[in-house]
Amino acid sequence: MTSSRVKIRIGGRGSQLSLAQLDLVAAALSDRAEVEIVSYRTTGDRLSRLDAAMTGKDLFTREIDEALLDGQIDVAVHSLKDVPSRLPEGLVLAAVPPREDPSDVLVSRDGDSFAGLPAGSCIGTSSPRRRAQVLSARPDLEVTDARGNVDTRIRRLREGRWDALVLARAGLARLERLADVTEVLPASWMLPAIGQGALAVVTREGDDRIRGLVAEADHRDSHREALAERALLQLLEAGCRAPVAGLARTRGGRMRLCAAVFAPDGSRSLHEEAEKDSESAVELGFEVARRLLALGAGDLITSSRTDAGA
């Protein structure tokens, strides 16, 4: 008997973490479809993450999105924090699976907590957002670039390149490396990146058959939180160079969005938050962004770009 199961090709980056994320989406679709995974090496993979950030946010997604538009694949899977606030024309955010814990974590070489790190300790991160918040909380620490995949960075930490790293908990969870975590850093002072911990399942706008299929992988609250955070980023026009952080959380049909913009050295920060019905996610993101802009976030973002050499 010929199988009537739909065949679907899902594409993403070929890194160990990205392949783990593709497997998660494939598993969510496997009851209704025969899934083929297609991996790509993107321009961002050929650069360091720091150099990619200096060049453009879509370097980790562009080739995959182009393959989707060209019909080489049916679905693109990205880390949501790598996706520009405006998708390429003809593509839609069709689903956001259940979000992992979006927290940042500390991985320290000698087991010290963040508060317990000696003055002058060297922290590895290439994220302007993490750098700013680390220096805001502990100006006595040194922050230097940390490049490479998770395994490479942790190996270099053990070899003594840094005293500690700041990483996304979600990536470590998906790689089954939570045992490496020394401390989960609270959002009260280490707000995560926009979309951190969430996956973006992207399809062609007019492909209703595939959109209906991937809807099975969608998690309503995670999707709405993603919409709120991305609306914030879109109105701020911050891209990936400015230290911008935000986290939306849903409880009892209400959504609260907390966001902040930082000076690169952590010497100045602007914070705002608001709450709305969860169905008004985009409006919530715009409201918090407008409040931040009224406080001077535009100037802070512009100065961050200047400091980054934009």
Residues annotated as catalytic are 82
CA contacts within 13 A on the Cβ side of 122: 11
- Beta-carbon contacts of residue 72 (< 8 Å; ≥ 6 apart): 9, 11, 38
Give ∠ CA 242-89-66 in degrees, rounded to 5.
85
Q: State whether the Cα torsion 219-220-221-223 is positive or negative.
A: positive
Q: What ranges make up the beta strands (E) of the chain?
A: 6-13, 33-40, 75-79, 91-95, 104-108, 122-124, 142-144, 164-168, 183-185, 199-204, 244-251, 254-262, 269-277
Give ∠ CA 173-193-292 in degrees, rounded to 5.
155
Cα gap 192→197, rounded to integer Å:
9
Cα gap 68→76, rounded to integer Å:
7
